[in-house]
Chains A and B, each alone.
Chain A
Amino acid sequence: MSIKLEHLNYIYSQGTAYEKRALNDVCLEIPHGEFVGIIGHTGSGKSTLIQHLNGLLRASSGELYYNGENIYREGYDMRKLRNEVGLVFQYPEHQLFEIDVLTDVCFGPKNQGLSPEESRERALEALRLVGLKEKYYQSSPFELSGGQKRRTAIAGVLAMRPKVLVLDEPTAGLDPKGRDDILDQIAYLHEKSDMTVILVSHSMEDIARYADRLIVMNKGAVMYNDEPKKVFEHYRELEEVGLAAPQVTYIMHDLVKRGMSVRTDVTTVAEAADEIMRTLVHHCTNS
């Protein structure tokens, strides 16, 4: 159970004056059940990449295997693939359209061919999973706050019970609490089920907190593919391609420059606090 990309290339407007290579020989393997982060500056190919995962874009060359099956093979069941790989686009709340929240979330499962009762059950389950309060189920999606709309839209994808959940900047424009709530909820879902999560984000702090593995895209190619800690050690290289390390990582590097012997492969606030305390206690007992 995995997604495997072999020498994937994608060229926009091939054969015209506007030809642009958006993916360049991408080779990746995402095993089932992983929480993967994808970062890259604007225009690095992240969004193009994830649209390949459920076959919305077809590679110009190269192969993509889902659970060992080549999705470009003739007669491959794309519908099934799209049922299993759920894609949450940027600003998914712009796609809400139904008269009330519950009906909107039912849209996906209904399209999968489920009965109205089953669809409703799935929708209720998904709405509970994203933590939207029951009093909003009958509200128009347009009366909700930004964070609530975003949750409704994510529930719409979850109601289809995807095995792989791909999210393109799910927290852009949300307030800090909304940001944490949605990511905590996704992390909880990931832990509880064996769902694979692929999270595209511009927030290095969020990626550091949640992802098991981090893929860095640059100019349509994979630049790094490793544990977040190891990737963020290359903070200088990351800055050159429009990215950064989490703020606490910089604090640790500055402390080392000032003569404190802390580890620098630290990416979250809690870790940093532990590491600084460890060093200080160690320092005191030695002197």
Chain B
Amino acid sequence: MDMVQTEKLVFEYEKRDEEGNVIGSSRAIDQVDIDVKEGQFIAILGHNGSGKSTFAKHINAILVPTEGTMWVNGRNTGDPDELWNVRQSAGMVFQNPDNQIIGTVVEEDVGFGPENLGVPTEEIWRRVEDSLKAVGMIEYRHHSPNKLSGGQKQRVAIAGVVAMEPKCIVLDEPTAMLDPVGRKEVLKTVQKLREQKKVTVILITHYMEEVVDADKIYVMDHGRVVMEGTPREVFSRVDELKSYRLDVPQATLLADELRKRGLKIPEGILKKEELVNALCQ
């Protein structure tokens, strides 16, 4: 089944003068067709200002299309009557964990979402426990979020989304502010959620290493989808990626470097294990 589907999606920001009159518009998303199946792990790459975050905000109807249509879990996001159903289907995690945590105790923060959905109290506690376990933060349930590390805070933010039991989680640069171990923690958590809860994951990031396990990568530029394919397909087009201000994982870059120096190394290397295997044959 399709989890997220768009047809010729267009979004325009209106420019206004000081009196609030519209003086023009700029197109942030331009005729995007994307199709995400249930349970898939999708990555969206693109430079700053390419339209990725604007696109992400459509998935739980923070923004609605100017033209074209988006369906989330079969529901049209442009239909005001479907708003709550759309938001319940897709949860979002943003870049800065400090802007997403509102509770003074970890478990209260996680319970905020389901409480707002009108979930019965008993059920809220079950979900809080369940989602804190899923992100590996259950032993911190009575702690204050302020005292947690960046990676831990971000995991609490993810638990808050998981507690709403969405079918799809959209993560908009969730690791940009984290140290290396925090980054690893968040990615492992996302991986685990996919396996255990079969949620669909849409990850937006500037770290190429984080998307090597994705089922599919979309590359955006000037509001359009300019490349799509498996990580192996996309990352084998090094020069094209660089023209969109992107990069490839370090293992891929090193394999490329070695190939340029005359070494016979297969194309499409993404992970360090693959490179080590290729070199030690």
Contact = CB atoms under 8 A, between A and B. Distances in A.
Contact of B279 (A40, A248, A260): A260
Interface of B: 46-50, 95, 149-151, 173, 176-182, 206, 208-209, 242, 245-247, 249-251, 253-254, 257-258, 261, 263, 272-273, 275-276, 279-280
B213 to A, nearest CB: 15
A177 B178 contact: no
Given A146-B48, A146-B49, A41 B275 contact: no
B28 to A, nearest CB: 12
Nearest to B146: A18
A179 B181 CA distance: 20
Contacts of A172: 176-177
Given A176-B247, A177-B47, A242-B149, A255 B181 contact: no
A20 to B, nearest CB: 10
A273 B257 contact: yes
Given A246-B250, A247-B209, A273-B261, A174 B181 contact: no
A247 B272 contact: yes
Contacts of A175: 46-48, 50, 206, 245-246
A239 B181 contact: yes
Contact of B206 (A174, A258, A276): A174
A242 B47 contact: no
B179 A273 contact: no
A43 B149 contact: yes
Contact of A254 (B179, B247, B263, B273): B273
Given A42-B182, A172-B176, A258-B280, 6 more contacts: A41-B149, A247-B209, A247-B249, A269-B254, A276-B254, A277-B258
B201 to A, nearest CB: 20
Contacts of A244: 180-181
Contacts of A41: 149, 179, 181-182
A157 to B, nearest CB: 20
Contacts of B245: 175-178
Given A145-B49, A248-B254, A255 B279 contact: yes
25 contacts: A41-B179, A42-B151, A145-B48, A147-B48, A173-B173, A173-B177, A174-B206, A175-B46, A175-B47, A175-B246, A176-B245, A176-B247, A177-B247, A179-B206, A202-B180, A204-B180, A242-B151, A242-B182, A247-B249, A247-B272, A255-B276, A255-B279, A269-B250, A277-B261, A277-B263
B207 to A, nearest CB: 9
Interface in A155-205: 172-179, 202, 204-205
B251 A251 contact: yes
A139 to B, nearest CB: 13
Contacts of A259: 280
Contacts of B180: 202, 204, 242-244
Contact of A247 (B95, B176, B251): B251
Interface of A: 40-43, 145-147, 172-179, 202, 204-205, 239, 242-244, 246-248, 250-251, 254-255, 258-260, 269-270, 272-273, 276-277, 280
B13 to A, nearest CB: 11
Nearest to A257: B276
Contact of A243 (B47, B179, B257): B179
Nearest to A202: B179
Contacts of B275: 251
B251 A270 contact: no
B250 A248 contact: yes
A255 B258 CA distance: 15
A173 B279 contact: no
Nearest to A270: B257
A260 B280 CA distance: 8
Given A173-B173, A202-B180, A250 B272 contact: yes
B250 to A, nearest CB: 4
A74 to B, nearest CB: 36
Most chain B C-beta atoms within 10 Å of own C-beta, residue among A205, A244, A251: A251
A273 B149 contact: no
Contacts of A145: 47-49
